[in-house]
Amino acid sequence: MNLSLLDSNLGYQNLLADLKSGLINHAYLIVSLDENLRKTAFTKFITSYFCPSSCQTCTACKKIASNNHISVKVLDGKNKIRVSDINELAEDTHILPIEGDRKFYFIDNANLLDPRAQNKLLKTYEEPPKYVTIFLGVSNEAGLLSTIKSRGKHIFLEPLTSRAIYNELVELGYDEIVSQEAASYAMGSLEKAMLFVGDQNYKYVYEETFNTLISLKNSSQIIDHLYKDIFSKENILLSLEFLEIFLSDIMKIIAKSNIDLLTLNRDYDLNLLAKSFTLAGASMALNAINDARERLKFNVSSTSVAEKVMFDLLEARYKWQ
Q: What are the C-alpha distances in Å from 53 to residues 8, 15, 218, 239, 309?
A: 17, 17, 57, 40, 47
Kindly state the DSSP code that residue 94 receives in the 8-state scheme: T
100 CB neighbour count, 10 Å cutoff: 17
Q: Are 242 and 195 in contact (CB under 8 A)?
A: no
Q: How far is the CB of 168 from Zn ion (least distance, A)?
A: 23
Which residue's CB is nearer to Zn ion, number 60 or number 238? 60
Is 64 a binding residue for Zn ion by CB under 5 A? The answer is no
Q: How far is the CB of 2 from Zn ion (least distance, A)?
A: 17
Is 314 a binding residue for Zn ion by CB under 5 A? The answer is no
Query: What CA dihedral angle connects 64, 68, 71 and 72, to 10 degrees?
Result: 70
Region near Zn ion per CB under 5 A, out of 57-65, 80-88, 120-128, 176-184: 57-65
Region near Zn ion per CB under 5 A, out of 45-53, 172-180, 207-215, 241-249: 45-53
Which residue's CB is nearer to Zn ion, number 49 or number 231? 49
Euclidean distance between CA atoms 166 and 256, whole angstroms: 29
- Let me know the angle formed at the C-alpha of 295 by 76 and 140, rounded to the nearest 5 degrees: 55
- Please pick, from the candidates 3, 19, 24, 61, the single residue that binds Zn ion as defined by CB under 5 A: 61
Is 3 a binding residue for Zn ion by CB under 5 A? The answer is no
Could you tell me where the beta strands, DSSP code E, fall in the chain? 27-31, 72-76, 103-108, 132-138, 153-156
Region near Zn ion per CB under 5 A, out of 5-13, 60-68, 231-239, 248-256: 60-68
Q: How far is the CB of 71 from Zn ion (least distance, A)?
A: 14
Q: Are 121 and 150 in contact (CB under 8 A)?
A: no
Is 58 a binding residue for Zn ion by CB under 5 A? The answer is yes
Is 55 a binding residue for Zn ion by CB under 5 A? The answer is yes
Q: How far is the CB of 43 from Zn ion (least distance, A)?
A: 13
Is 51 a binding residue for Zn ion by CB under 5 A? The answer is yes
| Footprint on this chain of Zn ion (rule: CB under 5 A) | 51, 55, 58, 61
